[in-house]
Chains A and B, each alone.
Chain A
């Protein structure tokens, strides 16, 4: 018989529950290690997913705001004044939600380093809009009507 004697068992463990306690101990050790590593790598993992170091931490905050409110002008207010309402309140109307008994957000899903792509696409759009504006003659340079 390979049944462990009471002498070999940890304090408080009876032979009947020895196997269960052994597996619980293994599970607890896995949970502790996984929990700590996960908590440790969440912030750096998120930063890399979102686009750091191409984007600075502040730029990531801005890009998240633009996604949340589906508005290119939305930005984080840093530092945010104590007790002031959220900067998001201004953009509340631009958020793409399907309002019903259960609201359904329609913002863009953020894939790996998508915030960098969103930023580049926005900059391209802005540059194109500037080019269009500059190519049109301004009212001051136009000939006055005779």
Chain B
């Protein structure tokens, strides 16, 4: 064999080795970030999950600095954040839907309601489905868990895998956030007396507490301006 094909083989080999090292570095980082995210999704254990997640993020940033081809940091943040956002929303609302008579729920959900949203305190557990009794609230809970948060969670996983469908689905489910925020807040405003009369931190307290759930509106400008060729078919 001539030496030229050997040189080609050597360069392809270097490329393959680079790809392999990159994939291994990404897997290594994800091995920290996935359990970190699962723990953060439990809400109360989040303080334990956060350093585990950050350790994974640091490993990924370090790998990128070493020249390896890993996910962009912003994609990692968007992907894991929409998963956490979906998990926290679904966990809280599932407790209200099906675990509404447990002691922890009556402190966490109904107690939170007494401070931030009277819809979760006023005549709590008296509806035939239990949990929040505020007009419209149950319909929002069920439809948003089923339609928005399950889909957004799946889209987040697809995005983290750098799949094109993940980016497209996430754009779709993040735009649904517009309906979620406008519809949900209008419902609260229309039944404002039930939601905010005689609670500890009315309206402004709700906004301070809930503003960190605006993830979809931070993700959308990126998802629309990123070079979509980085996501594979």
The answer to whether A61 touches B44 (Cβ under 8 A) is no
The answer to whether B49 touches A43 (Cβ under 8 A) is no
Considering only residues 43-65 of chain B, those with a C-beta below 8 Å from chain A are: 43-47, 49-50
Q: What 1/0 mask marks residues of chain B from 119 to 134 whose CB sits below 8 Å from any chain A CB? A: 0011111100010000
Chain B: which residue is nearest A60 at the CB level?
B107
The answer to whether A28 touches B114 (Cβ under 8 A) is no
A43 to B49, CA, bound (A): 16
Instruction: Say how far B130's CB is from chain A's closest CB, in angstroms.
Output: 7
From A42, A50, A107, B198 is in contact (CB under 8 Å) with A107
Asked, given contacts A39-B43, A110-B115, whether A102 binds B193 with beta carbons under 8 Å apart, the answer is yes
A78 to B197, CA, bound (A): 28
From A27, A57, A86, B107 is in contact (CB under 8 Å) with A57
**Does B142 reach chain A (CB closer than 8 Å)?**
no
**Does B108 reach chain A (CB closer than 8 Å)?**
yes
**Does B81 reach chain A (CB closer than 8 Å)?**
yes
The answer to whether A20 touches B73 (Cβ under 8 A) is no
Q: Which residues of B contact A108 (CB under 8 A)?
A: 198
Instruction: Say how far A107's CB is from chain B's closest CB, in angstroms.
Output: 6
Chain A: which residue is nearest B69 at the CB level?
A11
Q: Which residues of B contact A57 (CB under 8 A)?
A: 103, 107
Instruction: Say how far A78's CB is from chain B's closest CB, in angstroms.
Output: 6
Q: Which residues of A contact B110 (CB under 8 A)?
A: 64, 68
How many A residues have CB within 8 A of the partner chain?
56
The answer to whether B101 touches A64 (Cβ under 8 A) is no
**Does A35 reach chain B (CB closer than 8 Å)?**
yes
A37 to B103, CA, bound (A): 23
Asked, given contacts A13-B72, A33-B50, A40-B47, whether A64 binds B218 with beta carbons under 8 Å apart, the answer is no
A28 to B91, CA, bound (A): 21
Q: What 1/0 mask marks residues of chain B from 87 to 119 whose CB sits below 8 Å from any chain A CB? A: 010000000000001011011101110110010
Q: What are 22 A-B pairs with beta-carbon distances under 8 A?
A: A14-B227, A17-B225, A24-B218, A24-B222, A25-B74, A31-B212, A32-B80, A39-B40, A40-B44, A41-B47, A42-B112, A43-B107, A46-B108, A68-B124, A86-B125, A86-B126, A86-B130, A102-B192, A105-B118, A108-B198, A109-B199, A111-B200
Of all A-B residue pairs in the complex, the 4 with the closest CB atoms, nearest first, are A40-B46, A86-B125, A80-B101, A39-B43
